[in-house]
Structure 1
């Protein structure tokens, strides 16, 4: 049976549209709708015995201060993310220039991002160990024994230590994104500013920063969402112990440790709306349309 070109074209278009939509519904829309439904039920995650409780799960979330108290640990990752973004921009500007060996430096700085989180945590456990860790051994070797710390055992330091791991791991990604954005800026602008007598700081302030406005906005959104959803590093390293539990860790514990999937689903929905709210505020306050 001969099929005309027009029919073949419609079949191909229909196939390319249908398959992604089916996958989207199966792996995104249906789980999202199910999550909202589960948040109104009391369910242990086994079978189909789900008891409808309405807004009871949401009331429990807002009546238990220890649940929202975990966000104070997320703040460490947010501040670390802001600092990481600024440092990544600095290195991106340097490595975007005519520095000898810049490609090797780019690879070395990007390498931590491609490492698995488990491997990263194992590396830093050897770095932070109180007895044979590299930091304390180095401090002892140069006569600074008083600076030696229990980097993971001290509740006042442990969140800073974990936030630094996150900064180290995701620094390379931020740098590469900035390098790509910097390479899209026409060189003529910098040449014209040099002819006009502009300093390096003035070129950065009036050419580089305005040109990177959208990219910086994207990086701040990624930093905010990454900080609110911090999970892998504190969970793998500490299992949320010693005051390192984040909101997502509490959500996972609520579901799989305490077997309260309904309450955990409600916590996930609350986190979703918190992320949307802060992104909205960020766009309206820091990056007003038309500025």
Structure 2
């Protein structure tokens, strides 16, 4: 090492530090991704080494079978509730960014659901939505709204909205904290200048606050939309895709295809389709926001 120049030693140290994470990334991310794409063109059953090449047959099956690609319709409520969730989170962030007494307590209360385990949350809401002894129907009864009582997880028309509302409760505080951090990064003198110019609260929010938060809103909306098309844990724990398959999601169908029917080739193709859809959503979202900025 004494005969090496400082520049050479520096390069060796950098390469040494980067070698291990790069090797782990290649081993556990890129290699499995390449194998996934390969198996998506085969009929691999997940057990035998022998596979038969099917070409695009798996992809043709996905887009032509309404029981597979058609389940994305069940995830529209997650998208709708997710958009509303971001709007409410932004409103709470604006309110709690003001000089409100006890605002730190409210911030903690709203953020607490996010740190809870997803499965624990699902089991908790199983008691909330229970038809006979559930707290939600009991509350409606106490309020004299017996006609509003529902089988929240047994009604095919509202089951997905019921499940999506759990995500609203759990992630709204998390999004609020992100928006709150973005609000606090906006210089205070900008608000003072807007106030001196006679701008009202709504004008300040619409013309100054929101434009300065575009990138954060873009990030949160991407996380919300990608989470909506990849939802799995809530329907898996609470409804198992029921009633009558009304709450099945694409990921739930993928897992079922792989582990229940041992069709890992088709499941791999479904995973690739989900990845492509996520990339398309991100690209479309970026395009819309860039046009708005322009």
Would the TM-score normalized by the shorter structure come out above 0.5? yes
Which whole-Å deviations, capped at 9, do the CAs of 1:32-78 have from their partners, x for residues lacking one?
10100000111111131222111111111122122111001111111
Give the distance between the partners of 2:182 and 2:16, measured in 1 at CA: 35
| TM-score, normalization by structure 1 | 0.95
Secondary structure of residue in 1 paired with 2:98: coil
The number of equivalent residue pairs is 291
CA contact (8 A) 1:217 1:287 kept: no
Taking structure 1 as reference, are residues 139 and 170 closer, same or farther at Cα in structure 2, changes over 3 Å only?
A: same
Which whole-Å deviations, capped at 9, do the CAs of 1:181-223 have from their partners, x for residues lacking one?
0011000011111111111001101110110111111112112
| TM-score, normalization by structure 2 | 0.94
Shift in Å at residue 129 of structure 1? 0.5
Partner of 1:25: 26
Partner of 1:47: 48
Shift in Å at residue 176 of structure 1? 0.8
Partner of 1:273: 276
Moved more, 84-93 or 101-110: 101-110
Shift in Å at residue 264 of structure 1? 0.4
Moved more, 277-286 or 213-222: 277-286
CA contact (8 A) 2:154 2:242 kept: no
2:291 pairs, out of 285, 288, 291, with: 288
Asked if residue 131 in structure 1 is aligned to residue 126 in structure 2, the reply is no
Secondary structure of residue in 2 paired with 1:12: helix
Give the distance between the partners of 2:69 and 2:77, measured in 1 at CA: 15
Give the distance between the partners of 1:5 and 1:84, measured in 2 at CA: 57
Counterparts of 1:122-271 in structure 2, within 5 Å, are: 122-242=123-243, 243-271=246-274
Taking structure 1 as reference, are residues 54 and 137 closer, same or farther at Cα in structure 2, changes over 3 Å only?
A: same
Give the distance between the partners of 1:141 and 1:35, measured in 2 at CA: 53
Shift in Å at residue 27 of structure 1? 1.2
Which whole-Å deviations, capped at 9, do the CAs of 1:145-177 have from their partners, x for residues lacking one?
222111111111111100100111111111111
Gaps of 5+ in 1: none
CA contact (8 A) 1:130 1:151 kept: yes
Which whole-Å deviations, capped at 9, do the CAs of 1:115-158 have from their partners, x for residues lacking one?
11111011101111111111111122232222211111111111
Give the distance between the partners of 1:248 and 1:160, measured in 2 at CA: 18
Give the distance between the partners of 1:231 and 1:90, measured in 2 at CA: 28
Gaps of 5+ in 2: none
Q: CA RMSD in A?
A: 1.6
Partner of 2:105: 104
Give the distance between the partners of 1:41 and 1:56, measured in 2 at CA: 9
Secondary structure of residue in 2 paired with 1:287: helix
Shift in Å at residue 244 of structure 1? 0.2
CA contact (8 A) 1:126 1:134 kept: yes
Secondary structure of residue in 1 paired with 2:150: coil
Secondary structure of residue in 2 paired with 1:40: coil
Moved more, 266-275 or 4-13: 4-13
